[in-house]
Amino acid sequence: MESIKRVAAIHDISGYGRCSLTVALPVLSAMGAQCCALPAAYLSSHTGFEGFTFLDMTDQMIPALEHWKALGLHFDAIYSGFLGSAEQMDIVMRAKALFPRAMLMVDPVMGDHGVTYKTYTPEMCRNMTALARRADLIVPNLTEAAIILARPYESAPKTEGEALEWLQALSDGGKRSVVLTGLVLSQGSIGLGWLDAKDSSSGTLQHPFIGGEYHGTGDLFSSVMLGYLLRDRSLAAAADSAARFIGECAALSAGEGTSRNQGVRFEALLGRLV
């Protein structure tokens, strides 16, 4: 029996800009898991840069999954993030049907600051919401949580009580685990809320907001958190450690003057995850 943890990672690959697979691959490898990449699209850079190229890989995805099945692979987790077309959410569900023992972790990447990303259509948002409802664990930011719950972004939680209510709603009454990111409960801090479906525990945590805002930190957070979950940490402990790691990367990036679009400079700190 192999002892390595194996992840099917279904995201875009953006050549430049530190997000999605260019983050998930190094992070999960450093943390001792095998990351099998299923690119949903190839972009020359993430969508925050002008003029990015976009190659939709939808038609490659089912054959790739079926090949993995034919090889007799087993996955501990299926981990999806930014997707490239409205059909790809169904493909992630198909992956779960092919590998039913895998934990389905959906980072329902759709937008930030109340705005959807340039390539996301209303149909994609509907399908992402349906996918989130099938997941074992979801990791939305406030924008994505508002879309999933069909609530106005302006009503996103600002107090612990509101955050716990959103977590309950996102978990469908405790059916799935949730980590809600980008939660600001007091000025100068940033944090998250979590609800663990395993034991119905929930809570919030806040850390000082260090450095600045960087593109792709959601992907970095989710990948690091998954790495810790695969090392059998509890959801709360994994989320806390991942949030601290992002804070360290943001502090380093701010010190070096990294621009927002370049993403946080995690490479120099990757060794801490090994």
Minimum CB separation of residue 242 from ligand PXL in Å reads: 15
Nearest 5°: phi and psi at 196?
A: -100, 110
Minimum CB separation of residue 261 from ligand PXL in Å reads: 9
Nearest residue (CB) to ligand PXL, 48 versus 157: 48
Nearest residue (CB) to ligand PXL, 20 versus 177: 20
Asked if 255 and 208 count as a contact pair (C-beta separation under 8 A), the reply is no
Neighbours of 68 (CB within 10 A): 19
Minimum CB separation of residue 46 from ligand PXL in Å reads: 4
Minimum CB separation of residue 82 from ligand PXL in Å reads: 3
3-class DSSP state for residue 225?
helix
Minimum CB separation of residue 148 from ligand PXL in Å reads: 16
Distances (CA, A) of 164 to 40, 159, 264: 33, 9, 29
Burial category of 212 from C-beta neighbours within 10 Å (exposed 0-12, middle 13-18, buried 19 and up)? middle
Name the amino acid, one letter, at 78: I
- Binding footprint of ligand PXL on the chain (CB under 6 A): 12, 14, 19-20, 43, 46-48, 82, 109, 117, 216, 218-219
Nearest residue (CB) to ligand PXL, 20 versus 258: 20
Nearest residue (CB) to ligand PXL, 6 versus 11: 11
Distances (CA, A) of 65 to 10, 71, 123, 136, 191: 10, 10, 24, 20, 35
Which residue is listed with tokens 């995690």? 266
Nearest residue (CB) to ligand PXL, 45 versus 177: 45
